[in-house]
Amino acid sequence: MGYGLELREAIRSEGTTPLIGIYDMYSASLAARHYEGLFVSGFGFAASYYGLPDIGFIAWPDIVAFTQRLRLALPRHHLLVDIDDGYADPEVACHVVQQLERAGASGVILEDQKRPRRCGHADGKQILPLGEYLEKLAMVLDSRTELVVVARTDATEEAEIERRALALAQSGADVVLVDGVRTVESLRRIREVIGGMPLLFNQIGGGRSPRLSLPELTDLGVDVALYSTPCLFAAHDAVDAALTDLRNTDGRLPETVPGGADVRSSTRLLERNISRHHGSRSPDQPDRPDRPDQVE
């Protein structure tokens, strides 16, 4: 089964499928120990790769190259990739989608913002005319083979959200995402508007949307949950704390605690990215997420 079909099957399974936002190979290696689905977050990638905010700096060759590296290390995990607005031009969007599918992506998210774009949970978002976006979306859908395509709207007014959500549900896309949903009631209305269409909900630390558990999302009829930034923000806090401690101890490294990260545990983590490609596991057997206590 191809990567797109595998993700589509997971989306259709019972409950809400979680996808964890990662921003580089190391965060992906850690996330893969816990979850079967990963999300190439535009917010995280812009921060990690460029050191810039998520306002349109990402170049599509960088996303394709990163996806290729991810797929080499993680041959069985779901990989959903944020492609923003498809990098503006519809023909470019189609080219990028084809490149990503060949690189092993499971799916992509295509938004209806116009440039200059913004993070979905930020102020100042502007959206394309609906017809223009639907035309781009239709071209992208025609250009893929089995890749999952998530149609995303960044509309903020309730009436426009519902109008666009319905149009996206009728577009032939695989999943609908309304980014920056502010209330549970709004999420319920979106669920009603799109009928049985798969629905994705995106949570980001400090963002506009309510913090909801997977059971709560399942009760609301959400099929896929994106956790865009837990890895990035955890790294932010941990690195800042570690360097503050190092400075306060005049540069003396702390003693390694049992179970803590050190050169050995880090090497074992990275060696897993090699061992996934060989060994006793059948090529057809799904690569289940590792658990920290199962990693030697």
Domains of the chain, each with CATH number or no CATH:
3-235 (3.20.20.60)
Structural contact between residues 4 and 244, judged by C-beta atoms closer than 8 angstroms: no
Structural contact between residues 166 and 151, judged by C-beta atoms closer than 8 angstroms: no
Q: Which of 165, 156, 172, 158 is nearest to 208 (CA)?
A: 156
Helix (H, G, I), strand (E, B) or coil at 33: coil
So what's the pLDDT on residue 56? Answer: 87
Helix (H) or strand (E) holding 181: none
Place 42 in a pLDDT band, splitting at 50, 70 and 90: very high
Given a cut of 50, whether residue 162 has pLDDT beyond it is yes
Q: Which of 68, 102, 35 is nearest to 287 (CA)?
A: 35
Place 282 in a pLDDT band, splitting at 50, 70 and 90: very low
pLDDT tens digits for range 65-82: 999 999 999 999 999 999
Give percent above pLDDT 70 in the chain: 91
Place 280 in a pLDDT band, splitting at 50, 70 and 90: very low
Biggest CA pair distance of the chain: 62
> What's the predicted TM-score (pTM) here?
0.90
pLDDT tens digits for range 240-255: 999 999 999 988 888 8
Tokens 């577009």 appear where?
171
Structural contact between residues 4 and 174, judged by C-beta atoms closer than 8 angstroms: no
The separation between the first and the last C-alpha atoms of the chain, rounded to the nearest angstrom, is: 30
So what's the pLDDT on residue 281? Answer: 43
Distance (Å, whole) CA 155 – CA 263: 46
Distance (Å, whole) CA 173 – CA 134: 10
pLDDT tens digits for range 96-127: 999 999 999 999 999 998 876 766 566 667 88
Which region among 112-116, 167-171, 282-286 has the lowest average model confidence (pLDDT)? 282-286
Helix (H, G, I), strand (E, B) or coil at 21: strand
